[in-house]
Structure formats: C-alpha cells, structure tokens
C-alpha cells in the first residue's frame, strides 16, 4: 500500500484496530454542526465521513446540533442543515440530538468535578484571565482562586446558576496545570455566565457550558466510539480525554480522531465570510450557485451523488491542503455523464443563411440522445432550415494557427447534418458580424485550407428553436487561495447571463430540475425561475476543457 493510500485510510485503521481489540462492540459516529450558518462542501466531507464510516462498518451515526452558544443560533439554520444532510443522502433515523438536551447532565458532571477538586470557580476578570494564562513561551500563573475549597466553589457555582452574578464576574474552570505546554490545559473554562435565552431551553439556564467540555461529554453520553473532527482540535484532545477521565466515565470512552479540513481553491468556507458575501449582496443569497454551500451547489444543479463521489475521491489527510476545483468538476461530470441526454443549445447565436436551401423547406434529422449508445435513450429529430444559428465563437474572421472551426472559405460539419461552407460575411454598420452566408452539401469538399478536416459544430434552426436564458457560472474568486478581501478578490464575471440563447425543441418539455448535456458546452439544469416567458438553464459544469478554456470561449 502506498503512503497515500495509508493516509487515506488512517481513520479506518484506527477503527479496525479498535474493533479488533474489542475496545468497542460497534462503530458509532456523529455529525455535530453548530447551527450558526449553512452547510458547505467542507461540512459535506465531514458528513460523508461520519455517516459513511458508520454505514461501512454496520454502525450508526447521530445527527447532533452543537448548540451551546445561545446567542448565535437560529432555527433557520437548524432546518437548512437537516435538509442538506438528508439531501446528501444520509439518514439519522430517530437519532436527532442537541447538546442542549444534555445541559442537566453536564451540570451534574460539573458539580462532580468541583467536589472532587478538579474544577473551581474563578473570579478573575477577562483581562486578568488572559494575562495569567501566559503564552506559548511563557508559563501561566495560578489564579488566586485556584485553592478555593470545593465547598466554596460549589456554593458559588450554584449561585452562578441562580443568577446572582453578572456575566464575566465569575466562571468555572478546570484545575489542570497552568504550566502546561498546551495552552488548552491551562485551567480552561468549563462554564460561563450568559444571561441569554436559548432557542431550546428558553430561560432555564443563566450559565452555559463551553464547547470543549460539552463535546466530549455529549459524545460519551451518546456512546460515540469515534469522534471525528478537524485538525484544529488536535490540541484539544488532551482536554477531551481529561474531562472523561476525571469523571471516571466508564470505558469504552470515545476516541477523538482528527483529519484535515477541506479547502477548495477559488472559494472560501469560513462561515463569517460566507455571511459577509450574502449580507453585502455580493451574491443573491445562501443558495446562490456561486457559493460553496450545499444549498448553492444544489441550486446550481449538482447531484448529491457527485458530491459524495468528490468526498470519497479526495480522501482524508492529516495535513491541511487546498483541493483544486477541477476535482469537484470532474466528479460532477463523471456522475452525470451516463445519466443525461445530449442535446443542442446555442448560447451566443450567430445567424447563418444557407443559400442553396430553399426558403420554407424543413428537414427532420434523426439524432440520438446518447450517441455512444444510441438505443439507450432513443432519438429525437432536429430541424434543418435555411436559416440556422451557430455559436458565435465557432467562427473567426481571421483564424489563427490553432483555430480549426468555421472561417471565410472554410468548411465545418453540422452535428447530425451536412457540411457548410462559408463564403460571405455580413457586418452591420458598427462592423460587428451579424450573419454568415454559406452553402450546404452532403459531402465534404475535403480538407480545409489549413490542412485540417472540417470540425464538427453544434447549431440550431433559427425558426425551430426556443429562446432561453442560460446562466454561466465561473469561479467566485480570482485567486486560487483567497484571503477574503472581497473588493480585490471577487471575480466580476462570476455570473454571465446569455439572454439570447436558443435551445432545441425537444427541451420544450424539460422540467425544472432536469439535467442535460448541451453538446460541447457542458452540463446544464433547468431551474424553476423564468426570464419573462423564457426558461432559464444553469450551467452546472463545463466539459473537460476546464475553466480557463471555457472562459476564453465564452
Ligand atoms: P465554526 O467556525 O463556526 O466552528 P465550523 O466550520 O467548524 O465552523 P461546525 O458547524 O462546527 O462548523 O462544523 C460541523 C462539523 O463539520 C465539525 O465536525 C467540523 O469539524 C466539520 N467541518 C467544518 N468545516 C469543515 C471543512 N472545511 N472540512 C471538513 N470538515 C469540516
Ligand atoms: Mg466548529
């Protein structure tokens, strides 16, 4: 096995060893989002890992909201998160939990820690707490309240709960080691006073447990075997284990395993930045197809299976890195490739008049929806008429070396039709090309003057085609590794609307949510929104060309 494969499997290795040594009877994981934003593709990686591993080992995965912070949470987020996890294809059955469900138990555990001398109430104000904490190079200093008797701390803790003190006046902290090289172990806070109502527990609590304290206990209460989290919690693991150990939590205790979070090039996943993009109207909302949120990817047209495929392919690593957007694009293409019909659309139409084709004459050309296996999806007919549209970009007045498509004096092959030879270019007053004149023949005249065989281009009858609006999405940021300076880094062309686009007639019956490959252009989905009378299609992903080439060809 190569090193890479080993890395990909390091979580499985842990699980295998634990099962082998009978540390656990079966695998129990959880997905623990904080309900303070929409899920993004990074979260999808965690969802796929947690639910995926549980499924793989015949275990279970809980859905748990980490709702310890009463002020930041919102019902809208809870609903969207549940919806997104379901959409991704995962099922927590009846195991939907909230950390706030455990507040009573957490409180009892805190009293237990106080009584056994493992925790104390501290009266230091926040600035002193910071000062006493020390730094990576400087040891911390013991709080003057550290040696308070358990009885006194217990009394104060109960009075904190009863609301006798103000926020910041007192807090409960673990009694570990102010000289620890790990700052998380320097008597970390366990509970703080927060006089805020909670969306689930209402006014019941005036003190709230801290994340680190809550997380390990929630895992333990639920019988989680493997608590999979991102790398920034590696330094918190000693505290995770400490709490359970000092509470004498029965074995087997959950094992925390960290993996590198997903960073995707040309986008950002910080919730704060995403919120800023939405709030400042840089995008149209949480589901704007340019965002990396799952709601956005769904509205863009990505399938849940393509996201699962992407997460599986990128694997898990122990070191932070950036993943190229091409990985996601490729997973989307690979997923859609065998599922969708191939049809023709012209996004930026240029009219071609076929001079040797009689006015009014129409010919129906049979065309398979899935050319690689024509019988798989059947046939439709495309209509050939005297006036057709081709893609403006498939014509060059002065073609350079590597341009092989239509140009004056050159020939191109119409997909499913014959060969057109361009012999005249009509321009308007501004010099813009507005029409080509061509002749059509069944057979090619042979090689073009550049020595190449005529290229195949897509096209549509001018008369027998449908007007449509097509939205082309590009990267949201110009830089592969954006830092979040929106003014300089946002791509001004991240959305281009083709409002003059044309579609073949077979698309008249397309339903919102239906996906197609527009030949040579990419994969597209019809959306439910309309542009006046016109249907709108989103481009989900371009074809193999990659972003750069598509951008050039727009
Ligand atoms: P916050 O900064 O608000 O904590 P978060 O992105 O960590 O944001 P959570 O709601 O705490 O959000 O995340 C839920 C789970 O998803 C956590 O287990 C977290 O580790 C994981 N997760 C979050 N972002 C990523 C990412 N980019 N890649 C992989 N996993 C992630
Ligand atoms: Mg978090």
Q: What is the pLDDT of residues 263-272, one digit of tens each?
A: 999 999 999 9
Does pLDDT of 65 surpass 90? yes
**Distance between Cα 34 and ligand 2 center (Å):** 6
CA distance 531 to 470: 10
230 C-beta closer than 6 A to ligand 1: yes
User: Does the beta carbon of 43 sit less than 6 angstroms from any atom of ligand 1?
Assistant: yes
pLDDT in tens, 157-177: 999 999 999 999 999 999 999
Asked if 418 contacts 441 with a C-beta cutoff of 8 angstroms, the reply is yes
Beta carbons of 66 and 100 less than 8 angstroms apart:
no
Q: CATH number for the domain including 395? A: 2.40.240.10
In a shared domain, residues 200 and 66: yes
Q: Is 316 in the pocket of ligand 1 (CB under 6 A)?
A: no
Q: What's the structural domain count of the chain? A: 3
pLDDT of residue 349: 98
The pLDDT score that the predictor gives to residue 548 is 42
Identify which ligand lies nearest to the alpha carbon of 46: 1
Question: Span 275-303, mean pLDDT?
Answer: 97
Residue 421 predicted with pLDDT over 60: yes
Residue nearest to atom 4 of ligand 1 (CA): 34
- Find the ligand nearest to 34 CA: 1
Q: For 218-253, what is the HEC assignment?
A: HHHHHCCCEEEEEHHHHHHHHHHHHHHHHCCCCCCC
| Residues across the chain | 554
Confidence at 5, pLDDT banded by 50, 70, 90: low
> What does the alpha-carbon distance between residue 3 and residue 278 come to, in Å, rounded to a whole number?
41
**pLDDT attached to residue 397:** 95
CATH of the domain at 330: 1.10.1160.10
Distance CA 367, CA 164 (A): 79
Q: Which of 62-76, 365-379, 405-419 has the lowest mean pLDDT?
A: 62-76
The answer to whether position 545 is within a domain reads yes
For residue 537, list its beta bridge partners: 470, 526
Catalytic residue among 34, 111, 435, 489: 34
Among residues 212, 228, 263, the one where a domain terminates is: 263
The mean pLDDT of the chain is 95
Q: Give the pLDDT band of residue 551 (cuts 50, 70, 90).
A: very low
Report the atom number in ligand 1 closest to the C-alpha of 262: 28
Instruction: Give me the pLDDT at residue 546, please.
Output: 42
Reply yes or no on whether the pLDDT at 122 is more than 80: yes
Write the CB contacts of 83 (distance below 8 Å, at least 6 apart in sequence).
none
Specify whether 309 is located in the same domain as 227: no
* Cα 215 from Cα 451, distance rounded (Å): 69
Helix axes 103-115, 237-246, angle to 10 degrees: 80
For the Cβ of 262 lying below 6 angstroms from any atom of ligand 1, the answer is yes
Residues 401, 309 within the same domain? no
What burial class does residue 334 get, using C-beta atoms within 10 Å of its C-beta: 0-12 exposed, 13-18 middle, 19+ buried?
Answer: middle
Last residue of a domain, one of 263, 289, 310: 263
What's the whole-number mean pLDDT along residues 113-140?
Answer: 97
**Ligand 1 pocket check for 298: Cβ under 6 Å:** no
Average pLDDT over residues 285-307: 98
**Nearest to 94, CA basis, from 194, 187, 222:** 222
| 364 within domain boundaries | yes
Choose the weakest-confidence range: 111-120, 181-190, 299-308, 317-326.
317-326
Considering 271, 333, 386, 539, which one is annotated as catalytic?
271
pLDDT at 434 (0 to 100): 96
**pLDDT range class, residue 8, cuts 50, 70, 90:** low
Active site residue: 72, 128, 194, 261, which one? 261
| pLDDT > 70: percent of the chain | 97
How large is the greatest C-alpha to C-alpha distance in the chain, in angstroms? 102
User: 487 exposed, middle or buried (CB, 10 Å; 0-12, 13-18, 19+)?
Assistant: exposed
**Predicted local confidence at residue 28, as pLDDT:** 98
Q: Compute the distance from residue 61 Cα to the ligand 1 centre, in Å.
A: 17
263 Cα nearest atom in ligand 1: 27
Burial profile 510-545: b = 16 or more Cβ within 10 angstroms, e = fewer: beeebbbbbbbbbbbbbbeeeeeebbbbbbbbbbee
Is the CB of residue 42 below 6 angstroms from any atom belonging to ligand 1? yes
For residues 66 and 40, membership in a common domain is answered with yes
Task: Give residue 40 CA to ligand 2 midpoint distance, Å.
Answer: 13
In this structure, the answer to whether residues 232 and 285 fall within a common structural domain is no
534 pLDDT more than 90: yes
Q: Determine the distance separating the centroid of ligand 2 and the alpha carbon of 36, expressed in angstroms.
A: 10
pLDDT of 207-224, one tens digit each? 999 999 999 999 999 999
The Å distance, Cα 64 to ligand 1 centre, comes to 13
10 Å Cβ neighbour count for 443? Answer: 7
Answer yes or no: is 250 within a domain: yes
CA of 381 to the centre of ligand 2 (A): 54
Nearest C-alpha to atom 18 of ligand 1 is from which residue? 229
Give the ligand whose atoms come closest to the C-alpha of residue 294. Answer: 1
* 184 Ramachandran zone, left/alpha/beta (phi>0; psi -120 to 50): alpha
Q: Which helix (H) or strand (E) holds 189?
A: strand 189-193
CATH (domain of 26): 3.40.50.620
pLDDT (tens digit per residue) in 182-195: 999 999 999 999 99
User: Which atom of ligand 1 lies at the shortest distance from residue 230's CA?
Assistant: 20
Same domain, 222 and 255: yes
Q: How far is the CA of 30 from the centre of ligand 2 (A)?
A: 13
The pLDDT of residue 229 is 97
> Any catalytic annotation for residue 255?
no
Q: What is the 45 CA–ligand 1 centroid distance (Å)?
A: 10
> With a 6 A CB cut-off, is 229 part of the ligand 1 pocket?
yes
Q: Please answer whether residues 259 and 233 qualify as being in contact, where contact means their C-beta atoms are separated by less than 8 angstroms.
A: no
d(CA 351, CA 437): 9
Q: Within a domain: residue 342?
A: no
Same structural domain, 452 and 478: no
Please name the residue whose Cα sits nearest to atom 25 of ligand 1: 42
Enter the DSSP assignment of 326. H
Any ligand 1 atom below 6 A from CB of 30: no
CB atoms within 10 A of CB 187: 22
Please tell me the predicted confidence (pLDDT) of residue 264. Answer: 97
Q: What is the pLDDT of residue 42?
A: 97
Write out the two tokens for 148. 């308070």
Q: How far is the CA of 514 from the centre of ligand 2 (A)?
A: 35
- Alpha-carbon distances of 196 from 68, 102, 203, 323, rounded to whole Å: 12, 18, 7, 40
Q: Is the CB of 261 under 6 A from ligand 1?
A: yes
- 36 CB near ligand 1 (under 6 Å): yes
**Closest Cα to atom 8, ligand 1: which residue?**
271
Residue 271 forms part of a structural domain: yes
Mutation probe of ligand 1 site: the residue of 230, 234, 256 with most atoms within 8 A of C-beta: 230
| 90 CB-contact burial (10 Å; exposed 0-12 / middle 13-18 / buried 19+) | buried
The reported pLDDT for the residue numbered 547 is 41
Same domain? 445 vs 512 = no
Phi, psi of 282 (to 5 degrees): -75, -25
* Tens digits of residue pLDDT in 460-503: 999 999 999 999 999 999 999 999 999 899 999 999 999 999 99
Q: For position 401, what pLDDT does the model report? A: 85
Give the mean model confidence (pLDDT) for residues 53-80: 93
Same domain, 458 and 485: no
Average pLDDT, integer, range 343-372: 97
Q: What phi, psi does 186 have (nearest 5°)?
A: -85, 80
Last residue of a domain, one of 414, 437, 464: 464
Is residue 237 among the annotated active site residues?
Answer: no
Judged on CB neighbours under 10 Å (0-12, 13-18, 19+), 378 is exposed
Please compute, for residue 421, the number of CA atoms within 13 A of its CA located in the half-sphere on the CB side: 15
Reported for 7-12, long-range contacts at CB under 8 A and 24+ positions apart, including other chains, are 7/315, 7/316, 7/317, 7/318, 8/315, 8/316, 8/317, 10/259, 10/316, 10/318, 11/49, 11/53, 11/226, 11/228, 11/257, 11/259, 11/316, 12/53
Verify that 505 and 545 share a domain, yes or no: yes
Catalytic: 272?
no
Domain range for residue 154? 3-263
Nearest to 176 by CA among 137, 119, 131: 119
237 and 379 share one domain: no
Query: For residues 218 and 102, is the Cβ–Cβ distance under 8 A?
Result: yes
Same domain, 330 and 365: no
3-state DSSP call for residue 341? strand
Q: Is the CB of 32 under 6 A from ligand 1?
A: yes
DSSP 146: T
State the closest ligand 1 atom to the C-alpha of 47, by its place in the atom list counted from 1. Answer: 16
């Amino acid at each position: 096995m190569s090193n890479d494969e080993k890395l990909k499997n390091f979580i499985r290795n842990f699980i295998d060893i634990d099962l082998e040594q009978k540390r656990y009877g079966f695998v129990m994981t959880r997905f623990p989002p904080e309900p303070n934003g929409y899920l993004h593709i990074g979260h999808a990686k965690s969802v796929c890992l947690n639910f995926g591993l549980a499924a793989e080992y015949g275990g279970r995965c809980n859905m748990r909201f980490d709702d310890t912070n009463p002020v930041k949470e919102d019902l809208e987020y809870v609903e969207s998160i549940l919806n997104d996890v379901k959409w991704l294809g995962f099922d927590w059955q009846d195991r939907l939990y909230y950390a706030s469900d455990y507040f009573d138990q957490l409180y009892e555990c805190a009293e237990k820690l106080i009584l056994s001398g493992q925790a104390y109430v501290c009266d230091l104000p926040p600035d002193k707490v910071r000062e006493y904490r020390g730094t990576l190079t400087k040891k911390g200093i013991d709080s003057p309240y550290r040696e308070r008797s358990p009885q006194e701390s217990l009394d104060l803790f109960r009075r904190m709960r009863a609301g006798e003190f103000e926020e910041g006046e007192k807090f409960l902290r673990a009694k570990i080691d102010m000289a620890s090289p790990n700052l998380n172990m320097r008597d970390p806070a366990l509970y703080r006073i927060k006089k805020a109502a909670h969306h689930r527990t209402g006014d019941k609590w005036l003190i709230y447990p801290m994340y680190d304290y809550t997380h390990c206990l929630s895992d333990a209460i639920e019988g989680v075997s493997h608590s999979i989290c991102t790398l920034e919690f590696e330094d918190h693991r000693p505290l995770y284990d400490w709490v359970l150990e000092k509470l004498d939590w029965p074995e087997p205790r959950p094992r925390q395993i960290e993996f590198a979070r997903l960073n995707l090039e040309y986008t950002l996943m910080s919730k704060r930045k995403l919120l800023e993009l939405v709030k400042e109207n840089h995008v149209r909302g949480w589901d704007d197809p340019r965002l990396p949120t799952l709601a956005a990817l769904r509205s863009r047209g990505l399938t849940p299976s393509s996201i699962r495929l992407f997460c599986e392919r990128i694997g898990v690593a122990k070191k932070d890195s950036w993943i190229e957007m091409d990985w996601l694009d490729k997973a989307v293409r690979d997923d859609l490739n065998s599922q969708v019909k191939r049809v023709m659309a012209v996004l930026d139409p240029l009219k071609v008049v076929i001079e040797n084709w009689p006015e009014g004459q129409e010919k129906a050309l049979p065309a398979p929806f899935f050319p690689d296996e024509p019988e798989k999806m059947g046939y439709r007919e495309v209509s050939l008429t005297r006036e057709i549209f081709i893609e403006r970009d498939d014509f060059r007045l002065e073609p350079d070396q590597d341009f092989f498509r239509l140009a004056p004096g050159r020939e191109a092959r119409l997909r499913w039709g014959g060969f057109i030879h361009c012999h005249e270019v009509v321009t308007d007053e501004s010099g813009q090309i507005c029409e080509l004149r061509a002749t059509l023949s069944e057979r090619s005249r042979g090689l073009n003057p550049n020595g190449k065989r005529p290229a195949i281009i897509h096209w549509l009858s001018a008369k027998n085609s449908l007007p449509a609006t097509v939205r082309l999405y590009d990267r949201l940021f110009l830089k592969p590794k954006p830092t979040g300076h929106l003014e300089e880094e946002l791509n001004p062309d991240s959305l281009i609307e083709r409002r003059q686009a044309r579609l073949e007639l077979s698309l008249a019956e397309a339903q919102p949510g239906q996906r197609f490959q527009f030949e040579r252009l990419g994969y597209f989905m019809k959306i439910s929104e309309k542009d006046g009378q016109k249907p709108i299609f989103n481009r989900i992903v371009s074809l193999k060309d990659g972003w750069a080439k598509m951008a050039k060809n727009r």
